[in-house]
Amino acid sequence: MFEKIAVLGCGAIGSSVSADLTDAGYDVTIIDQWPEHVEAMKAGGLHIEMPDLDLKIPVKAYHLCEMASLKPEFDLVLMAVKSYDNPWVVPFIKPYLKDDGALVGLQNSMNEELSMSVLGRERVVGAVIELSAEIFTPGKVQRNTSRTGTWFGVGEIDGSVTPRVKEIQSILSHVAKTDICANIYGSKWTKLITNSMSMGPFGILGLHKSEASQLPGMQELSIQIGKEALEVGTAIGHSIEPVFGLDADEIAGSDEQVLTTLSQTLFRHTGSRSRTAPIQDHLKGRKNEVESFINGLVARRGKEAGVPTPCNDAIAEIAGQINKGQLEMDPSNYERLQSRIASRGQESA
């Protein structure tokens, strides 16, 4: 069914997926907007350094501008761009996705509604991913999670288990341990909760997970951030779902126990020295996703649902100032964060 596969967006995640699927024998076409990276892939393929494997493999890579003359048609598009690029990337790929094809977003945040508004509900399959990797050199990726140590979940929007979602599960099993999620929105919100606890606060400080975790009060703050996101999710109808390969029994217990399990599992899988995506983006001079698509999304949905989110509000505000160049990613933001949380908490009291 899915013979022609495109990976749209070939940063650290997209490169890792492209290399693994090409290595598994699939017909994969890479489409990316980083000119030097595309040229490096054309000349020498991809080099993925994993904890247990050093993979060097030739790939088919193209610039965005080459699509118009190539006029390809794809059965499956795996989209791995930043969430803020979706409004232009999804319409861009629409002419090249077959009428009976499917798009799967291998991304952070909750982006399926936008994709469905462009492509139609029947051509969108949901996904949630856990893969830690970095790319700073064109053509070369440092992947922190091995294939067996990486986890993906895929699911139809309506929760049905269809032949196509089973095939997508089979395809992605060459990249990660891949489960079918009966409640894909719940699974994605559960991952968002975990990201809000780590990606947001650690990102605005510019610290490795191990460094940020040692700050006085950080673990308690992370739990409070997660509790806000959990309460918002409950208010808008998203239940906690097993992710990261956990089962239902492992995420049972009090809210604090569940949040601690999710956070510790993510840290264990990705490694305490890995840099979160916002830090990598900042080092590349790009916007972080925290402001609008991680903590900012929790804050926005919380406001709509009438759920106070002072911690997520403050993180999103600081992340926005970093995006605007008004602040640097720096440990000094920790005191600023605590002060803003305190003032916002007083306002909502």
Q: What does the pLDDT look like over 97-155, one tens digit per residue?
A: 999 999 999 999 999 999 999 999 999 999 999 999 999 999 999 999 999 999 999 99
Instruction: Give me the amino acid identity at 137.
Output: T
At 344 the pLDDT is 75
Distance of alpha carbon 179 from alpha carbon 11, whole angstroms: 23
Sequence spans of domains, the chain: 4-182, 195-348
Instruction: Give me the amino acid identity at 314.
Output: A
Cβ neighbour number for residue 125 with a 10 Å cutoff? 21
Better pLDDT: 345 or 300: 300
Distance of alpha carbon 124 from alpha carbon 270, whole angstroms: 28
Please count the residues of the chain: 349
> Rounded to the nearest 5 degrees, what angle is found at the Cα of 278, between the Cα atoms of 63 and 23?
45
225-235 per-position pLDDT tens digit: 999 999 999 99
Identify the DSSP state of 239.
P
DSSP string, 190-213: HHHHHHHHHHHHHHHHT--HHHHH
Of the pLDDT bands very low, low, confident and very high (cuts 50, 70, 90), residue 349 is: low
At 33 the pLDDT is 97
245-255 per-position pLDDT tens digit: 999 999 989 99
pLDDT of 293 above 60: yes
CATH fold of the domain at 4-182: Rossmann fold (3.40.50)
pLDDT of 343 above 70: yes
Instruction: Give me the amino acid identity at 143.
Output: R
Residue 27's φ and ψ, nearest 5 degrees, are -85, 95
Radius of gyration (C-alpha) of the chain in whole angstroms: 19
pLDDT of 179 above 80: yes
Identify the DSSP state of 240.
P
**CB distance 282 to 329 below 8 Å:** yes
At 347 the pLDDT is 65
**CB distance 213 to 273 below 8 Å:** no
Mean pLDDT of 161-188: 98
Of the pLDDT bands very low, low, confident and very high (cuts 50, 70, 90), residue 348 is: low
- Tokens 């118009």 map to which residue? 68
Domain 195-348 classification at class level: mainly alpha
Residues 6+ apart with CB under 8 A from 10: 18, 30, 31, 32, 34, 37, 38, 41, 61, 80
At 121 the pLDDT is 96
- Tokens 């840290």 map to which residue? 267
pLDDT of 319 above 60: yes
